[in-house]
Structure 1
Amino acid sequence: MLFFFGQPIFSQMLSLLNKSKITTRALAHKSNHYCKRFSTFQHLITMVYGLPQNAIHCVNCAEAL
């Protein structure tokens, strides 16, 4: 049986994202213009979900943030 202490890694990675900044940038670049249901922020969360599959990508993501 596994026990987690504190937040899971996915929650920690999501806490680094600033939704208001991402939404502002999405509006400025009109990235949600043709999307009806899948916003830029939701797409980013989906991409972040796949990061733990390869630790090298996690290091690159942390450096980029």
Structure 2
Amino acid sequence: MELHVKSYEMLSKDVLFNIICERINVFVVEQQCSYQEVDSIDKQALHVFYKNGETIVAYTRI
């Protein structure tokens, strides 16, 4: 596994898309929380994630 720490500007479109999909899966679908998942904090945060090959296996934003 490989650790990545990136600003919003450093994220590729594909990685950002995968991050957003997983956040929606976990927080909106699985936890049944209806709220806006993507917000302005994404542009200010550091995005920290582990990848196993091309798959993101863990994620948080700081």
| TM-score, normalised with respect to structure 1 | 0.35
Give the greater-gyration-radius structure (CA).
1
Quick one: higher RCO (CA 8 Å, sep 6+), 1 or 2? Answer: 2
